């Protein structure tokens, strides 16, 4: 049971004053929880600040950083009817003028907020476009009264379409008012160096200076450490629990695996052989397996997992594979069933919306199905196995420890194999994933052509479309990934839709679009059209990063490549070059490139080795990350950024072990405080393990 002291934090956000069901829905969407709770609001920390101490004249204002200008509204330039062009407003001061640019404009709001002839204070980033100053989506448009009420240093939050910053600000203020002072969970020696949990949240949401929200500022360090420590503590508890519960030996007779191997159209690579023999050895011993199979996208993890699953069936048990999305679950299902069924194995796909669900559930319970493949729907309570022996989790950035545990709890002494494509440097793997055994697929299957990677400034986009025209005529299949804009879905989407519209004019009938706000079925359809070749160009926001397998895809265009982190660029590029065809990756960037972006692009051009890229990434980011957490490419953390907080992770790892050594059952006052911490970061599954003994 959750400690009562935490209840105010876990109450739905709609219980806060001024938050009705409509805003509640927007918060659910923004925070990815249903219902969004007070705590989710508090953990939604600002990614930037507007520093009103920086006021500037238009022509003197620095480019590409937030400034506040005071200007007169001169002219409105609405787009022609039914056009997707932006709405523009011209404003000026005595030094010059600026075009304010609004995509997917709310005309009424613009007309009301920017009346012609009036003076307004406008905050946002100025940029040069065709030699003219413009500001895309100002973050504030204020009149004199608004200005007087504004904070000197104002936190800027990620938003979702329809949610006004002012409304979110009020919700967060109300959430802060509910924040109790909780007993300290860290050892005194550590606590002495940090602000308290409550003080840290207060500081982040009410910064007195922009530096206060930096990833290395005490407030962020405190919360990042809390999060990492909760994670490490949960891992350590899990490990201890697994050691206490005996395993079972899953010794197969090799009959099914031999059939599968014989049917494969290729030979296992030496790395796959090695991983497979490590896993087989684990399965055969009576202690439980907890192994991480790490390998870049396309390194062939799925076949290894399939062999492990088949081997468990030989030993008379069942296996399950959990994927982070429905799309991936289906892909795994298709890939696996193809080899498993001829070997006499019964495979079922279980997702949230499968029609045959009841039948499948019955077959899993009576053992007539050998493998279940699905999403998190697999660990719902209604799912029971006759005798689950192995849980494979395809991690792909998504699952937390508690979810892995939930699947492990579906059977007696379940062996666990986690597959991850996250190219975390070796130096961090064990600390990040806890004390797991590790198998690595470092080499790729043979026959892969290297991917020609080129970088071009956006001005040369014409060359890219010309090249694309030739390639498309020759049957190519291309992804076109659109930029991440200011962590706001609305503007991401606007950019993708605009590009989609533009490409459709050149390549009529051959262009598809996928983005995060589409319904599952719509998105599946767009993906299927691209996979079948009905469309040859797929415009996407970064949703495609989460794993799609279209072997024919051979061109990847990444627009505004300078806005992506290395890990993300690498994952995206990994979507092409999967078949035997020659592939290319075009990184379109906005000039001039900063030092960091320049270095990233150089590394991308130099190597395709995910591990090497990960190491370089960590090195570069260590030197000062300017991007938000969204781009860090690291799974599961809300507040910690492993690139910046790697040292904290090591400390958290050591501290978690230390704490469990002296207080293995989390007893006494400090134990209680630690349980609070586990709940706050939703690692409470580990608390339940404690109770299970
Ligand atoms: P991952 O899961 O690591 O991203 P997959 O298991 O999906 O990679 O494999 C990527 C592709 O490579 C698949 O089409 C698979 O059939 C193929 N493949 C796997 N192993 C080999 C191998 N040893 N030789 C040739 N092709 C392979
Ligand atoms: Mg895979």
Q: Convert the pLDDT of each residue in 315-359 to its tens digit.
A: 999 999 998 878 788 889 988 999 999 999 999 999 776 678 888
Mutate to test the pocket of ligand 1, among 292, 303, 552, 581 (most ligand atoms within 8 A of CB): 303
The answer to whether residue 544 scores a pLDDT higher than 80 is no
Same domain, 459 and 395: no
Is 645 contained in some domain? no
Contact in structure between 79 and 107 (CB atoms under 8 Å): no
Same domain, 460 and 537: yes
> For residues 175, 181, 187 and 191, what is the CA-based torsion angle, rounded to 10 degrees?
70
| Residue 263 Cα distances to 169, 178, 566, 673, angstroms | 59, 61, 37, 55
Number of domains in the chain: 4
Ligand 1 mean position, distance from CA 443 (Å): 11
Is 428 contained in some domain? yes
Would you place residue 403 in the very low, low, confident or very high pLDDT band (cuts 50, 70, 90)?
low
Same domain, 555 and 583: yes
- Which one, of 314, 186, 172, lies nearest residue 252 by Cα? 314
Same domain, 549 and 581: yes
Q: Is residue 648 packed enough to be buried (19+ CB in 10 Å), middle (13-18) or exposed (0-12)? A: buried
Pairing outcome for strands 97-102 and 87-92: antiparallel
| pLDDT at residue number 428 | 64
Same domain, 127 and 60: yes
Q: How far apart are CA 526 and CA 514, in angstroms?
A: 6
The answer to whether residue 413 scores a pLDDT higher than 50 is yes
Would you place residue 420 in the very low, low, confident or very high pLDDT band (cuts 50, 70, 90)?
confident
| pLDDT at residue number 306 | 97
The residue from 99, 118, 150 where one domain ends is: 150
What is the CATH number for 263? 3.40.50.300
Mean pLDDT to the nearest integer, 409-436: 73
Q: How far apart are CA 117 and CA 114, in angstroms?
A: 9
Ligand nearest to the CA of 268: 1
Q: How far apart are CA 622 and CA 638, in angstroms?
A: 19
> In the chain, what percentage of residues exceed pLDDT 90?
50
Beta carbon of 12 within 6 Å of any ligand 1 atom: no
Same domain, 16 and 79: no
What phi, psi does 621 have (nearest 5°)? Answer: -65, -35
The residue from 576, 607, 638 where one domain ends is: 607
| pLDDT at residue number 397 | 52
Would you place residue 430 in the very low, low, confident or very high pLDDT band (cuts 50, 70, 90)?
low
| pLDDT at residue number 627 | 29
Mean pLDDT to the nearest integer, 390-394: 91
Would you place residue 272 in the very low, low, confident or very high pLDDT band (cuts 50, 70, 90)?
very high
Position with higher pLDDT, 247 vs 422:
247
55-69, 177-191, 450-464: range with lowest mean pLDDT: 55-69
Same domain, 144 and 262: no
The answer to whether residue 424 scores a pLDDT higher than 70 is no
The residue from 441, 471, 492 where one domain ends is: 441
Same domain, 391 and 274: yes
| pLDDT at residue number 361 | 93
Same domain, 262 and 349: yes
The vertex-563 CA angle with 571 and 158, nearest 5°, equals 100
| pLDDT at residue number 594 | 82
| pLDDT at residue number 448 | 76
Beta carbon of 302 within 6 Å of any ligand 1 atom: yes
Mean pLDDT to the nearest integer, 92-102: 95
Structural domain harbouring 414: 255-441
Is 243 contained in some domain? no
Structure tokens at 657: 């072990």
Ligand 1 mean position, distance from CA 547 (Å): 14
Beta carbon of 272 within 6 Å of any ligand 1 atom: yes
| Residue 150 Cα distances to 50, 121, 141, 166, 581, angstroms | 10, 11, 11, 10, 56
The answer to whether residue 147 scores a pLDDT higher than 90 is no
| pLDDT at residue number 486 | 46
Q: How far apart are CA 434 and CA 652, in angstroms?
A: 11
| pLDDT at residue number 628 | 30
Same domain, 95 and 129: yes
Same domain, 381 and 400: yes
Is 229 contained in some domain? no
Mean pLDDT of the chain: 86
| pLDDT at residue number 434 | 67
54-68, 108-122, 396-410: range with lowest mean pLDDT: 396-410
Mean pLDDT to the nearest integer, 486-512: 77
**Residue having the nearest C-alpha atom to atom 10 of ligand 1:** 298
- Which one, of 442, 334, 412, 4, lies nearest residue 182 by Cα? 4
Only one residue has tokens 């415009």, namely: 539
Q: How far apart are CA 566 and CA 618, in angstroms?
A: 9
**Residue having the nearest C-alpha atom to atom 26 of ligand 1:** 445
Is 667 contained in some domain? no
239-248, 275-284, 301-310, 571-580: range with lowest mean pLDDT: 239-248
The answer to whether residue 685 scores a pLDDT higher than 80 is no
Same domain, 355 and 466: no
Kindly write down the DSSP assignment for every residue of 46-62, as one continuous string: -SEEEETT-B--TTTSP
User: pLDDT of 612-669, one tens digit each?
Assistant: 887 787 677 643 332 233 333 344 578 887 767 878 988 998 899 899 999 999 999 9
Residue ranges of alpha helices (H) inside 297-425 are: 301-314, 326-340, 357-366, 401-408
Contact in structure between 140 and 150 (CB atoms under 8 Å): yes
- Determine the distance from the C-alpha atom of residue 203 to the mean position of all C-alpha atoms in its chain, rounded to a whole number: 26
Q: Which residues contact 444 (CB under 8 A, 6 or more apart)?
A: 269, 296, 298, 299, 300
Mean pLDDT to the nearest integer, 383-407: 74
Would you place residue 156 in the very low, low, confident or very high pLDDT band (cuts 50, 70, 90)?
confident
Mutate to test the pocket of ligand 1, among 300, 307, 551, 552 (most ligand atoms within 8 A of CB): 300
3 state DSSP class of 151: coil
């Amino acid at each position: 049971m959750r400690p009562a002291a935490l209840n105010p934090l876990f109450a739905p956000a709609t219980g806060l004053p001024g938050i009705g069901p409509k805003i509640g829905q927007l918060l659910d969407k923004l925070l990815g929880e249903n219902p969004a709770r007070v705590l989710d609001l508090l953990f939604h920390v600002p990614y930037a600040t507007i520093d009103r101490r920086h006021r500037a004249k238009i022509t003197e204002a620095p480019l590409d950083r937030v400034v506040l200008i005071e200007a007169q509204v001169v002219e409105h330039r609405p787009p022609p009817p039914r056009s997707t062009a932006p709405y523009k407003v011209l404003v000026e001061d005595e030094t010059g003028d600026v075009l304010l640019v609004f995509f997917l404009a709310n005309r009424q709001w613009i007309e009301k907020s920017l009346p012609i002839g009036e003076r307004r204070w406008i905050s946002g980033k100025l940029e040069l476009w065709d030699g003219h100053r413009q500001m895309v989506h100002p973050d504030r448009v204020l009149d004199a009264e608004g200005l007087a009420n504004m904070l000197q240093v104002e936190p800027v939050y990620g938003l979702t379409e329809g949610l006004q910053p002012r409304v979110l600000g009020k919700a967060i203020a109300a959430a802060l008012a509910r924040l109790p002072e909780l007993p300290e969970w860290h050892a005194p020696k550590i606590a002495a160096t940090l602000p308290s949990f409550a003080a840290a949240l207060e500081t982040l949401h009410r910064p007195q200076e922009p530096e206060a929200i930096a990833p290395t500022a005490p407030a962020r360090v405190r919360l990042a450490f809390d999060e990492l420590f909760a994670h490490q503590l949960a891992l350590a508890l899990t490990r201890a629990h697994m050691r206490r519960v005996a395993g079972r030996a899953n010794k197969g007779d090799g009959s099914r695996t031999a059939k599968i191997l014989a049917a494969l159209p290729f030979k296992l690579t030496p790395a796959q052989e090695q991983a497979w023999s490590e896993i087989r050895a684990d399965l055969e011993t009576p202690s439980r397996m907890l192994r991480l199979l790490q390998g870049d996208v396309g390194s062939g993890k799925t076949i290894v997992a399939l062999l492990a699953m088949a081997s468990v069936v030989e030993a008379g048990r069942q296996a399950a594979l959990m994927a982070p999305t429905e799309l991936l679950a289906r892909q795994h299902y298709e890939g696996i069933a193809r080899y498993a069924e001829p070997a006499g194995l019964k495979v079922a796909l279980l997702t949230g919306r499968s029609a045959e669900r009841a039948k499948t559930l019955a077959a899993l319970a009576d053992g007539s199905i050998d493998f279940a493949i699905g999403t998190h729907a697999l660990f719902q309570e209604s799912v029971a196995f006759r005798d689950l022996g192995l849980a494979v989790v395809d991690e792909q950035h998504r699952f937390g420890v508690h979810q892995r545990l939930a699947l492990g709890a579906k059977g007696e002494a379940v062996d666990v194999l986690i597959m991850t494509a996250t190219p975390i440097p070796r130096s961090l793997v064990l600390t990040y994933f806890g004390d797991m055994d590790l198998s690595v697929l470092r080499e790729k299957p043979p026959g892969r052509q290297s991917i020609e990677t080129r970088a071009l400034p956006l001005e040369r986009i014409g060359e890219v479309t010309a090249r694309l025209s030739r390639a498309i005529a020759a049957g190519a299949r291309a992804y076109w990934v659109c930029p991440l804009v200011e962590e706001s879905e609305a503007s991401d989407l606007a950019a993708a839709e605009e590009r989609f519209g533009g490409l459709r004019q050149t390549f009529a009938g051959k262009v598809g679009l996928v983005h995060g706000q589409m319904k599952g079925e719509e998105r599946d359809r767009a993906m299927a059209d691209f996979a079948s070749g009905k469309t040859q160009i797929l415009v996407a926001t970064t949703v495609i990063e989460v794993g799609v397998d279209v072997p024919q895809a051979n061109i990847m265009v990444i627009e505004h490549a300078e806005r992506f982190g290395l890990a993300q660029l690498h994952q995206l590029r990994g979507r092409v070059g999967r078949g035997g065809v020659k592939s290319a990756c075009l990184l379109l960037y906005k000039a001039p490139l900063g030092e960091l972006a320049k270095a990233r692009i150089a590394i991308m051009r130099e190597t395709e080795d995910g591990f090497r890229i990960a190491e370089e990434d960590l090195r570069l980011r260590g030197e000062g990350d300017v991007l938000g957490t969204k781009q860090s490419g690291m799974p599961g953390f809300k507040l910690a950024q492993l690139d910046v907080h790697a040292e904290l992770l090591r400390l958290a790892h050591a501290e978690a072990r230390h704490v469990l050594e002296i207080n293995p059952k989390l007893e006494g006052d400090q134990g209680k405080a630690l349980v609070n911490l586990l709940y706050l970061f939703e690692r409470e599954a580990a608390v339940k393990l404690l109770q299970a003994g």
